[in-house]
């Protein structure tokens, strides 16, 4: 069984924390975006642009479902994993601990400001993004077994808290 599934908004540090944790435990690290990219040979940005968000969400759902059966590791998910109702059910019912990395909108906005690789940032204004953040927040909360407020914490400090 996976040791944890990390959820949270873009820029909350899911990938960095997941990699740090997996390395400390000697476990494999998985990231839904990377898995999607290796399966499809396209980046999330390319899938969004060429096939649309719905297609990306369908592939993402399939990827999450498959990862629930993996024997060990730490899984980081894309920030939009909670956009699909079926994923909420999967996250709420799995025995794998689901951890919500909660970063304030100001924190993620600052981190994302110069990021050109995330497709949502190409199509949404700052106001749209803030609305997306507010809309998703309760979904992360409902899906998680545990929430960590990460704004002022290093990845190592988050991992230490997860061990506590």
Pairwise CA distance, residues 57 & 10, whole Å:
15
Using the minimum distance from each CB to ligand S3P, give the nearer residue, 30 or 119: 119
44-73 positions binding ligand S3P, by CB under 6 A: 44
Q: Can you tell me whether residue 73 is helix, strand or coil?
A: coil
Relative to beta strand 4-7, strand 74-76 is: parallel
Residue from 59, 61, 78, 98 touching ligand S3P (CB under 6 A): that is: 78
Q: Which residue has the tokens 């794998």?
A: 96
Helices vs. strands in the chain: H and E counts, helices first: 9, 5
Residue from 119, 140, 150, 162 touching ligand S3P (CB under 6 A): that is: 119
Tell me the CB-side half-sphere exposure of residue 162, using CA atoms within 13 A: 29
| Min dist. Cβ of residue 164 to ligand S3P (A) | 25
Pairwise CA distance, residues 20 & 23, whole Å:
5
Pairwise CA distance, residues 3 & 67, whole Å:
12
Residue from 10, 67, 90, 162 touching ligand S3P (CB under 6 A): that is: 10
Which region among 22-30, 78-86, 103-111, 143-151 touches ligand S3P (by CB under 6 A)?
78-86
Residue from 2, 16, 33, 98 touching ligand S3P (CB under 6 A): that is: 33
Q: Is 16 annotated as a binding residue?
A: yes
Binding residues for Mg(2+): 15
Please give the residue ranges that form the binding site for ligand S3P (CB under 6 A). 10, 14, 33, 44, 78-80, 118-120
């Amino acid at each position: 069984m996976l040791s944890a599934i990390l959820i949270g908004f873009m820029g909350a540090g899911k990938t960095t924390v997941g990699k740090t944790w997996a390395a400390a435990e000697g476990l494999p690290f998985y990231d839904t975006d990377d898995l999607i990219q290796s399966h499809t040979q396209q980046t999330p940005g390319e899938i969004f642009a060429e096939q649309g968000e719905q297609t990306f969400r369908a592939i993402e759902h399939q990827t999450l479902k498959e990862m629930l059966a993996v024997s060990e590791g730490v899984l980081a998910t894309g920030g939009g994993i909670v956009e699909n109702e079926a994923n909420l059910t999967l996250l709420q019912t799995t025995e794998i601990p689901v951890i919500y990395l909660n970063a304030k909108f100001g924190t993620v906005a600052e981190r994302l400001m110069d990021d050109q690789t995330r497709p949502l940032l190409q199509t949404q204004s700052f106001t749209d993004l803030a609305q997306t953040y507010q809309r998703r927040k309760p979904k992360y909360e409902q899906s998680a077994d545990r929430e960590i407020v990460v704004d002022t914490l290093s990845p190592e400090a988050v991992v230490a808290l997860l061990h506590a």
